[in-house]
Amino acid sequence: MRYIFIATALFIMTTTTSCRSKQDLSPTVRLETTYGNIIVRLHAETPLHRDNFMRLVDEGFYDGILFHRVIADFMIQTGDPDSRNATPDQRLGTGDGAERLPAEIVYPQFFHKRGALAAARQGDQINPERLSSGSQFYIVQGRVFSNDELEMMEFQRRRRAEQALFQAKSREVQDEIVLYQNAGNQEALNALRDRIIAEIEQELAENPSYRFTEEQREAYTTIGGTPHLDGEYTVFGQVIEGLDIVEKISRTQTGVADRPVEDIRIISARRVR
């Protein structure tokens, strides 16, 4: 009996520790806003963003901060520390609470379905590494898309992928191209072009990242989202309660730079568990 008791106690301890570890890896946060509560769960697969977000939550960083950029059928954005005491006419969106974070784009596992929590960032032209803001984030509201719309997006994404690959492969054989051009050898140029196109076709066939997964297609045609952002930003969490509050915020009247006319604040951000 004694050994059974010890074994049972060890099992309970192990199970409890395992559950606690899982909760620590995917913590849950309540955002109490002036419109109601939004509860988000963070992804274990994006540890840098998860830990940074939880550090800011524990420090009370988000308390009193505004949703400074709101676009209906798109997203609601917050996290600018300059918004805490902003005047009504103050332009917001450039403030940051910490150093930028390396991208953790876990795609297509995490995508921009309705309620996705993602890190804001500067554009590719000045931020080619897609580093995330240290504090600003957005929550996806989005809209529902038809299958025809998704197919058109896939077509456009494939064309962009083809162009990017063609340019990259052309740079790799630039010396050959110049040699054949100087020699006036059009046949060799055509053969080189055909070889590059064949390589691109093979790569896209083996890794069709331009296509939506069945999970994405199901989400975008039912609950909605913002599919054009997929693979471009770090999605590090998901709303599990309060999507109605996200929608309510997204429908508020806005003015210059998509800032709500009436201030909408995060009153407090606290761990739920």
Mean pLDDT in residue range 239-249: 98
The residues near 165 (Cβ < 8 Å, ≥ 6 apart) are: 200, 203, 204
Mean pLDDT in residue range 235-246: 98
User: Three-state DSSP class for 138?
Assistant: strand
In the prediction, which pLDDT does 13 show?
Answer: 43
pLDDT tens for 155-178 read 999 999 899 999 999 999 999 999
Domains and CATH numbers, the chain: 27-143+224-271 (2.40.100.10), 147-206 (no CATH)
Sign of the CA dihedral running 190, 191, 197, 201: positive
pLDDT tens for 69-111 read 999 999 999 999 999 999 998 999 999 877 899 999 999 999 9
* Lowest-pLDDT choice from 139-143, 179-183, 237-241, 266-270: 179-183
In the prediction, which pLDDT does 85 show?
Answer: 93
Q: Chain-wide mean pLDDT for the chain?
A: 91
The residues near 41 (Cβ < 8 Å, ≥ 6 apart) are: 26, 27, 28, 29, 237, 238, 240
Mean pLDDT in residue range 137-161: 96
For residues 260 and 254, the answer to whether their CB atoms sit within 8 Å is: yes
Q: In 10 A of CB 96, how many CB atoms? A: 16
DSSP 225: B
pLDDT tens for 12-21 read 444 444 444 5
pTM: 0.84
Calpha distance 208→36 (Å, rounded): 41
User: Three-state DSSP class for 192?
Assistant: helix
